[in-house]
Amino acid sequence: MRQQEWNKGMYVNGEWVTLAARVAVQNPATLEIIGSVPDASAKEARQAVDAAQAAFPSWSKTTAYERAALLERWHQTIAARLDEIAYVMTLEQGKPLAEARGEVQYANSYIKWYAEEAKRIYGETIPASAASKRILVQKQPVGVVAAVTPWNFPAAMIARKIAPALAAGCTTVTKPAEQTPLTALLLAECAHEAGIPPGVINIVTTSQAAEVVDVWMDDARVKKLTFTGSTPVGKLLMRKAADTVKKISLELGGLAPFIVAEDANLDAAVKGLVQSKFRNAGQTCICANRIYVHEAVKEPFLQKLTEAVSALRVGQGTEDDVEIGPLIDERAVQKVQQQIDDAVGKGATLHGSPVLAGATGYFMKPVVLSDVTDEMVCMQEETFGPIAPVSTFSDDEEVIRRANATPYGLAAYVFTQSLARAFTFSESLEYGIVGVNDGAPSVAQAPFGGMKESGLGREGSHHGIEEYLEVKYISLQLV
């Protein structure tokens, strides 16, 4: 596949729209420009809502079985192009090919799940207080949905939003992250090929995120915003949603604690930590950010962890056996380096070196920090990079208190072989997702989402489709 071929139009009203203004797409591993997409402005943002609004009456009236069949076909067209989508994702985002393939399959599992879930949008009948009355409750699609997604999971974040929205009978306008628009457009090509009608999915590419998204926030025809990204931008959009009282779902930042109890299986804990911490080079919202190890097992745990981390192979995601690709950009590299410098300056011990000799792209080698304290920046702010800061604790209550002492509440992990501890920890941790002896808890049939400033609402599972449904109560008088 020739890299220069990735010059694409954006997808509005079932058509591929080209514009003179273009946004270049860069490969973070080589710094080469691999393609470009249209640089949309407010005008195209409005046209996308026009298309979604025009498509809504007929799409919302299709039967659940018709929508399920189209989603199932979309699932199949993506599966047929899995290798191509994964390859493009690796080029624009950097993650190793094996991870990119895994992400496309994971994204597709949401499309499959919601194809099935469309058929299970049940209403209710409620006993009335008068013999002549009946109370019915129906679920109806909310209307046009705006979706705004980040670069770290270019396929999954889109599928997790568009699949339940379509299953519910909503139409959509989506703005993918400017760094990773190509994967989004490939998913739209698959949807087009599957026969999803014009206007039901619209993908607007731009470098002017605020200009495009503000049009959607101001437009009363857009009934719902579903956003995944940083907490500051999520708060900004939450405020903007107030003017038209839009429904909102927010999947925001995390600062996951990873607790290794004194009775943990240390091999399982190290395996779970490497899986949680270093997938996508540490650029995941649920990745372990603060590691708390019981002081009784600190030494053997650190030894096993540093061995496992030094064995991780860093390189271009398209190369065989690479486990850690580049970070997304220079700013990300600087942020991670600053966290390392801050920790070392305050007394932490650095195991390994983050410098990858001779690298052109935004590479950082994974490292471990020990003797870390809660005041260090890496324990206070989301890292989004391949460093594993390890602190110790001596008492379960103490570590639960420290783990909860943050505005974030997305994912937490605990490794223990005691059932009682597993329940005490998982019930006391103020997090939407708790992995007990599990470093990879996210699946389509489970509700994914955060508490506190990590967000509102859930994606995945039967809870995920409710985010796109209105509840209507019909009071019926028998006359």
Binding residue for ligand NAD (CB under 6 A) from 23, 71, 115, 148? 148
**149 makes contact with ligand NAD (CB under 6 A):** yes
Question: Which CB, 329 or 342, lies closer to ligand NAD?
Answer: 329
Candidates 23, 118, 410, 412; binder of ligand NAD (CB under 6 A) is: 410
Measured distance CA(176)–CA(309) in Å, rounded: 32
Q: Rule CB under 6 A: which of 192-211 touch ligand NAD?
A: 209-210
- Supply the DSSP string of 76-115, one letter for each residue: HHHHHTHHHHHHHHHHHH---HHHHHHHHHHHHHHHHHHH
Q: Which residues contact 135 (CB under 8 A, 6 or more apart)?
A: 125, 126, 127, 128, 473, 474, 475, 476
Q: Give the residue nearest to ligand NAD (CB).
A: 229
Which sequence positions are flagged as catalytic? 251
- Please report whether residue 233 would count as binding ligand NAD according to CB under 6 A: yes
Instruction: Return the range that interacts with ligand NAD (CB under 6 A); candidates 173-181, 271-279, 289-297, 396-404.
Output: 173-181
Under the criterion CB under 6 A, does residue 252 sit at the interface with ligand NAD?
Answer: yes
28 binds ligand NAD (CB under 6 A): no
Phi, psi angles (nearest 5°) of residue 29: -85, -30
Length of the chain: 479
427 token code pair? 């019930």
Q: Does 178 bind ligand NAD (CB under 6 A)?
A: yes
| Dihedral pair phi/psi, residue 74, rounded to 5° | -60, -45
By the rule CB under 6 A, 141 interacts with ligand NAD: no
**What is the full DSSP assignment across 218-245?**
H-TTEEEEEEES-HHHHHHHHHHHGGGT
CB of 227 to ligand NAD, least distance (A): 7
Segment 257 to 286, residues that bind ligand NAD, using CB under 6 A: 285
The owner of tokens 């591993």 is 29
Cα separation, 125 vs 205, whole angstroms = 44
CB nearer ligand NAD, residue 25 or residue 121:
25
Residue closer to ligand NAD by CB (options 285, 297) is 285
Q: Which of residues 279-338 bind ligand NAD (CB under 6 A)?
A: 285
Nearest-approach distance from CB 362 to ligand NAD, in angstroms: 14
Which of the residues 428 through 467 are near ligand NAD (CB under 6 A)?
450, 455
For residue 379, give the H/E element and its range: helix 377-380
CA 474-475-477 angle, 5° bins:
135
How do 411-415 and 256-260 pair as beta strands? parallel
**Assigned token pair, 291:** 């590691």
Q: And the tokens for 379?
A: 């324990």
Compare residues 59 and 448 and give the one whose CB is closer to ligand NAD: 448
Interaction between residue 385 and ligand NAD (CB under 6 A): no
Comparison of 67 and 175: residue with beta carbon closer to ligand NAD: 175
- 115 vs 225 by CB, closer to ligand NAD: 225
Closest approach, Cβ 61 to ligand NAD, in A, equals: 31
Instruction: With contacts defined by CB under 6 A, name the span among 132-140, 149-157, 267-275, 422-430 that binds ligand NAD.
Output: 149-157
152 binds ligand NAD (CB under 6 A): yes
Beta-carbon neighbour count of residue 22 at 10 Å? Answer: 15
Instruction: Answer for the pair 149, 184: CB distance below 8 angstroms, yes or no.
Output: yes
Q: Give the tokens for residue 472.
A: 């209507």
Nearer to ligand NAD, 236 or 344 (CB): 236
- At residue 295's C-alpha, the angle toward residues 353 and 261, to 5°, is 100
Question: Of 177, 196, 333, 444, which one interacts with ligand NAD (CB under 6 A)?
Answer: 177
Closest CA to 433 of 443, 415, 447, 418: 447
Closer to ligand NAD by Cβ: residue 123 or 232: 232
- In eight-state DSSP terms, residue 4 is G
Shortest distance, CB of residue 266 to ligand NAD, whole angstroms?
28
Kindly list the residues in this chain that would bind ligand NAD in the complex (CB under 6 A): 148-153, 157, 175, 177-178, 209-210, 213, 228-230, 233, 236, 251-254, 285, 382, 410, 450, 455
